Structure 1
């Protein structure tokens, strides 16, 4: 993909890979022109070097959440080089390698934003996502385009500093898979001696196992696939449960203080609630959608259990997880691809054939 930038007075055009949503072409990603606004005083222009491929990209391209703005150019796990800075940018400089996660702006004045939780922005539009525009304004046709492109423009407040110890080619998934799992583990108070289960050992789950182990927890990986047992143990899990083994699941009722579910497709949460101990808590981060089968409230109430969800993390917390991964030598397991291979990669992700995360090498 050519990295040519075509300029005019207020915008510039670069190349990207996106989905038109056109019924003739389906949702297949193809090369398209991406028109971006030139950096404002508080923004930077970044040349994308690496971009992670998240299951959310597939959901968004397919309009699974019924909120997709087309054309859709995915990508919210970006590692890139600053090539231009606005006049008000002093903390970052041209040539610097930085990270960009799921958001590129917010109102920055509401209480969640002031508290470093920009993902919960209460401003008029909510957070501005790295792609697909405003998070909380479905009526707006304002769109943004993500890291499946040669360049991206970002507010300086949403840039992340990358520790020197991190391998740049493997860092991008930390900006979504890393923070999405780190935040609920941290907020649950996971520490030495905590009994933690991670359900789903894929792009998010394989990061969660490593992070929970580094926090000092006794970690159990729960998966439907017996062939993932050895992989989970290599990642640091102390043991592995097969969720389709009814006897094995029953033997672990009341066994865990905290369960993190990372499954990206429909699942029955009632299978996992009985595994929680007294006052245990469960958080799901994988499938951000609906499931028709109701939660069994009796199972929740009788042992004072808690069931909740979590959504990425703020910029401060995302910087925390980058530093945490550097400190504990944690890195995503990745397979590098070219942008032209993205449609094949989507198919392999849906078929669970990736180990464990694809990263697009945009430099090539």
Structure 2
């Protein structure tokens, strides 16, 4: 099995550092990808530090991958060497349950295999590495221009995590859509809902984010800790996408929904939200829902939608050696709005075993 340079950690208490991993040889249905850019997701930090209590070590995070095909198996028909492609949060699923049959592999009833920390036949290692080998069914075609590729990487998680619920609940012309939080997920939610034609309202606790929210496509900005501003929007939203990954009062937003309106949670806090008041749901037939990334088909659709509308993530490029510092800055919200690693810098930090 070929040795591959990577960046990862052997234990929750250790920082990420150079290490060597083994990638499988390219099989008949596989695609080998040299990784150009890899986004940094909050899930990477949770996993590296075992904050969800399920990490397999050594851990190599990274599931927002953009790269170039360098080899394909003899049964691969969709890709060829030189193609620009992406890999998101999954590299396999059972392929035979009802969810997989519906193209919703993220809800695989037997559990999808994550791009990293996958619990299939062996641990999987993610995109903080020089290359990756993936079954062609989980490889995505990228049509953005070459100069946009670094900013495309976060679309593979942050983009699809927000696109899927916006599409599922019908964000578009004539719909009033709220986005709660202006971070890595929230800024993509604003861009996508705006491009879909919805009237977009951004909720934030930070008055200093108002100008940026407007730049990204918000029609209105509401400071959510101001009860007077919140009250002006009572009972008016068709859909609210809540991206905040910290426990907070959900009732404050549920009361803003119309009859039959939905609030969807995509932020994953380490501890539960306070329980919402049941009457805020039953009196208006409101719904509180959740959503998990998107299937392969929908992720490809999202990438094509973003290419058509000129949508990418707002990023800060970092070198591989700076990822531990980036984690600390991410915890403080000190990034606008997504870190992306230039994987060309890996060769300066990692040495093959």
Residue deviations 1:258-292 (CA, integer Å, cap 9, x gap): 00011122223222111111111000101165415
Aligned position for 2:266: 285
Aligned position for 1:149: 129
Farther off after superposition, 286-295 or 210-219: 286-295
Contact 1:198 1:205 (C-alpha < 8 Å) held by counterparts? yes
Aligned position for 1:313: 294
* Deviation, structure 1 residue 68: 1.3
Q: Distance between the aligned counterparts of 1:208 and 1:302, measured in 2? A: 28
Aligned position for 1:214: 195
Residue deviations 1:42-99 (CA, integer Å, cap 9, x gap): 1111111000011111121222222111211110000011112112112211121111
Say which SS state the counterpart of residue 79 (structure 2) adopts: coil
Contact 2:191 2:311 (C-alpha < 8 Å) held by counterparts? yes
Superposition TM-score, scaled by structure 2 size: 0.94
* Deviation, structure 1 residue 106: 1.1
Q: Distance between the aligned counterparts of 1:143 and 1:274, measured in 2? A: 44
Aligned position for 2:335: 354
Superposition TM-score, scaled by structure 1 size: 0.91
Contact 2:248 2:274 (C-alpha < 8 Å) held by counterparts? no
Superposition pairs of residues 196-207 of structure 1, within 5 angstroms: 196-207=177-188
Residue deviations 1:217-242 (CA, integer Å, cap 9, x gap): 10000011111111100001001011
Q: Distance between the aligned counterparts of 1:292 and 1:330, measured in 2? A: 32
* Deviation, structure 1 residue 35: 1.8
| Structure with larger RCO (C-alpha < 8 A, sep 6+) | 2
Match of 1:275 among 229, 235, 256: 256
Aligned position for 1:17: 7
Aligned position for 1:232: 213
Say which SS state the counterpart of residue 126 (structure 2) adopts: coil
| Equivalent residue pairs, number | 344
Root-mean-square deviation over aligned CA pairs: 1.5
Contact 1:207 1:332 (C-alpha < 8 Å) held by counterparts? yes
Long gaps (5+) in structure 1: 1-10, 135-139
Contact 1:119 1:311 (C-alpha < 8 Å) held by counterparts? yes
